[in-house]
Amino acid sequence: MQKNRILGTIVPILLAVLVIGVGYYVVLPPLSPYSAQFWTFFFFVLAVIGGAGLLIQLANRKIIVVNQSIKLPGYIKVLLGIAVVVLALLLVFSIASSQIFRAGTYSSLITVETGNFAEDVPQSEYVTDIALMDSESARIIGARTLGTLSDLVSQYDVSDTYTQIAMEGVPYKVSPLGYASFFKWLQNSSEGIPGYVKVDPVAFEAQFIRLEEYMTISPSAYLGDDLMRALRFAAPSAIWGSVYFEVDDDGKPFWIASCLKPQAGWFGAYDVTEVVVMDACTGEAVTYALGEVPAWVDIVFTGNLICQKYDWYGMLGGGYFNSVLSQTGCVVTTDDFGYKIIGDDVYVFTGVTSVSNDEANIGFILVNSRTGEYTYYSVPGAEEYSAMAAAEGSVQQYRYEASFPTLINVNGEATYIMVLKDASGIVKMYSMVNVSNYNLVVTSETQTEVFQKYKARLSQSGVNVDSDTLESRTITVEEILYIPMDGSTTAYIRSTDGKVYKIAFNENLLLVGEGDRLTVYYTIEELITQLVKFE
């Protein structure tokens, strides 16, 4: 009898420990009271303990039945009491952390500097330094690259998630290989994952980078090699924000995981405070404070978090009730964001629009995705989707689809540049749209020509284009014709050699006559004049 009682006690306890251990190993909750997942697991543990206690009571025949119903033991009542008290406290903490009570905290998470776009953003003279490829196109090219490697294609696949990075000032998209299935992991886990795909989003080319030391930590692995499990054991209390695959300047692969903590009470205004950098080959992890993150790391703050924090800044600065009632001075980011490389850093950019008008921007923000530094530029104009629609409309007969644009500086003018793809995702054309005037749209089948045409349109609109970047020729005027077009006048200059140039009308042209010699600066041979210099 005594032996049965001992077994009846030990077995439920061991079973409870096993269930809790397996539950933690599978769910991997952060051991932090600031995480809702932690408290969910806490209630799960209470339930398991209560269940184990009932099994012990049942095994020892101490279940009391009163009027054909089971009388709850005292410890069950204690556990229920703990659960009720904790739930009540969590509800209070959650309400106290909400925007209605902590609007000032939410809106003050960021400091926004005001910048000068023409001065802060380097000019793009050519398209060769601009990443035009979106992730969808990168997936297509990356999959094709893996398909050419016969020794890998049957065992691995390329992750659908591509990370935008900068390596020595050059933009790339990278994505790791992963095990194709559980059985492929069993077969190859002793060696690991041989490499990753590196996509050049400018040249629209991809290459497979084969590693000397294979990767062991992956989202497609299992047990201790599973990425999230390895990260959890490296940082048991971390509340994960984002996890990205990146490579350093030497091409070595790492996993970059941002750690969040609430800034408003217990559950409000989560923001990045630390970063875990894990070696994808060895699993070694180092935790960095926000200001100590290595310079080669590109993505610490995701685009979604960057936009959310700016929305809090733009909506809650005047208080919570202003944000839902009068909305005086309230602004928000537009529906999507893009990436831009400046120097060795990746920046997130997105438009800023008033709450009452989401079809036009009042400006936009550029945010360093590693440091989280915000800069606002007051450049009113088209929001990104209006610019995409303008580009698509200029070649509507082909039904091409525009990618989300990249923001560049052309002669001081904020400009959207994007690719136009057919139904199969193949890039067919390039388009540039002026932010301030999205009626100024050019498209072309080549990258070089789209730049040339855009600079030509800028000149016709009265924007001074740097003559150092243009071709020049001295001509003798044979005839000048003035033709009104779309509310403006364009001058066509015919030279004595039979070539025709055009330029937006300016008063100096009234001094030009037949036989005069001019030096003309142009972008496209024999077609468009950028600047006329009188001799």
Tell me how far apart the alpha carbons of residues 504 and 219 are, in angstroms, rounded to a whole number. 57
- Residue 85: exposed, middle, or buried by beta-carbon count in 10 A (0-12, 13-18, 19+)? exposed
Q: pLDDT tens across 5-33, in order?
A: 666 678 778 888 999 999 999 999 999 99
Tell me how far apart the alpha carbons of residues 402 and 416 are, in angstroms, rounded to a whole number. 11
Residue 357: which pLDDT band, with cuts at 50, 70 and 90?
A: low
Residue 134 has pLDDT above 60, yes or no: yes
Residue 469 has pLDDT above 60, yes or no: no
Tell me how far apart the alpha carbons of residues 45 and 490 are, in angstroms, rounded to a whole number. 78
Please enumerate, as own/partner, the contacts of 286-291 that have beta carbons within 8 Å and a separation of 24 or more: 287/234, 287/235, 287/259, 290/372
Q: pLDDT tens across 245-303, in order?
A: 999 989 999 999 999 999 999 999 999 999 999 999 999 999 999 989 999 999 999 99
| Average predicted confidence (pLDDT) for the chain | 84
The highest-confidence range among 226-235, 419-428, 515-524, by mean pLDDT, is 226-235
For residue 4, give both structure tokens.
């049965």
pTM for the full predicted model: 0.82
Residue 42's pLDDT is what?
A: 94
Q: pLDDT tens across 428-437, in order?
A: 888 999 988 8
> Judging by DSSP bridges, how do beta strands 112-114 and 374-377 pair with one another?
parallel
Residue 422 has pLDDT above 50, yes or no: yes
Residue 245's pLDDT is what?
A: 96
- Residue 22: exposed, middle, or buried by beta-carbon count in 10 A (0-12, 13-18, 19+)? exposed
% of the chain beyond a pLDDT of 90: 40
| Mean local confidence (pLDDT), 189-214 | 88
